[in-house]
Amino acid sequence: MTTTAETNISVIKPRIRGFICITAHPTGCAKHVQEQIDYVKKQGPIENAPKNVLILGASTGYGLASRIVAGFGGQAKTLGVFFEKLPEGGKTATAGYYNTLAYEKFAQAEGLYAKSINGDAFSDQIKAQTIDTIKKDMGKVDLVVYSLASPKRVHPTSGTVYSSVLKPIGQTFSAKTLDTDKEVVKDVTIEPANDREISDTVVVMGGEDWQMWMDALKDADCLTEGATTVAYSYIGPEVTWPIYRDGAIGKAKADLEKAAAAISNSLKNKNVKAYVSINKAVVTQASSAIPVVPLYVSLLFKVMKEHNVHEGCIEQIYRLFSQQLYNGNVPALDEAGRIRIDDLEMDPRIQEAVRKLWGEVSTENLKQISDFDSYRKEFLQLFGFGLEGVDYEAPVDTTKV
């Protein structure tokens, strides 16, 4: 990042460390948000859409897509909660900060209510601030989206800091993975989680905080009759199961599903329904951190594009809203009571083709048999880089979009 005499005016370049980009481009992030808005507008309005929507984890990925679909697909008032770093000392803000500035700018230009709260969504303080805002500006909410992904959680009752892990349970896990920096396919071995790591991961990524949010909203009388709440999860293919579905994070996701049943039961007098939506593998900041997943996603993209069924976050969430939750639809649930928006990914034809490529992929043929180029492009776009029509040589103000 090249900085001029004014510390907030900079030429910003991507600086990647492992699975994260430590810079973000304000103009590029705004362009990325605009592209998602344009997609939703092109699809057309969603009938019987929610009117007052709370999105927990609203600044990136599936949470941001939910905000865009609710706002521009259903004309909803949206209140977003997230934790993002602001620009400081010549450093850029995090991408979610710029995404939010852009969403609010575009929403307000069309007369849509859009407010945001930046802070620790696990805390009682942020819950109270959110409830105050709902009471003041919205009255009650009819949809709560739970899309939080965090490596740590400070428990609001005890003050204990818990950390999540991406580890298998019971045995060492070895598989292929992709070093995205060096573009090298290699083997990775991960030691199993101990009991403490497993329980801590459930505390961070399980359903307790979702349930605490819903209890707080119920106690404050901030939920409409017949409101809906949905949390996002993932199952994925067998190749990822040892570290995901059957690993420590899988225990947390199972806890999330238990919370859905508990929430529906505790709020049945208001006819509130809680769902877990199983979404497809996409490029997000969270998924990029999971060993094996970037390689799997690179292969999956190639196969799904060949079958003309590729989707990113915005396509997934528009389909969730328009074909499952709203437009007069009743959600189609699997045997475990979950919504399955990963149906296209998990199509046996798609998975068989990916399994075949998985057995063949190597460093030498990575670019030929996978769509790693698209993975890399989508990864950079998360941070506002690689968007068409953006002049990345021009200095930009890091404090605004």
Mean pLDDT of the chain: 94
For the segment 55-65, the average pLDDT, to the nearest whole number, is 97
Cα→Cα distances 227→76, 99, 140, 267, Å: 14, 27, 9, 10
Angle between helices 293-306 and 348-360 (to 10 degrees): 130
pLDDT greater than 80 at residue 111: yes
pLDDT greater than 90 at residue 303: yes
Question: What pTM does this model have?
Answer: 0.96
For the segment 255-267, the average pLDDT, to the nearest whole number, is 97
For the segment 373-387, the average pLDDT, to the nearest whole number, is 95
pLDDT greater than 80 at residue 200: yes
Confidence of residue 18 (pLDDT cuts 50, 70, 90): confident
Q: Which run of H or of E encompasses 21?
A: strand 20-21
Q: Which of 244, 296, 326, 375 is catalytic?
A: 244
Cα→Cα distances 289→19, 149, 180, Å: 6, 11, 11
Q: What residues contact 41, with CB distance under 8 A and at least 6 apart?
A: 72
**Amino acid occupying residue 114:** A
pLDDT greater than 70 at residue 7: no
Q: What residues contact 99, with CB distance under 8 A and at least 6 apart?
A: 29, 32, 33, 59, 60, 64
pLDDT greater than 90 at residue 243: no
The predicted structure's pLDDT at residue 180? 86
Percent share of the chain, pLDDT over 90: 89
CATH architecture of 2-397: 3-Layer(aba) Sandwich (3.40)
The predicted structure's pLDDT at residue 6? 52
Active site residue 113: no
The predicted structure's pLDDT at residue 17? 81
Detail the DSSP E strand segments found in 140-288: 141-146, 152-154, 161-163, 173-179, 184-190, 223-233, 273-278
pLDDT in tens, 151-184: 999 999 999 999 999 999 999 999 999 988 889 9
Confidence of residue 5 (pLDDT cuts 50, 70, 90): very low
The predicted structure's pLDDT at residue 63? 97
- Could you tell me which residues are beta bridge partners of residue 78? 53, 114
- Domain boundaries along the sequence of the chain: 2-397
pLDDT greater than 80 at residue 4: no
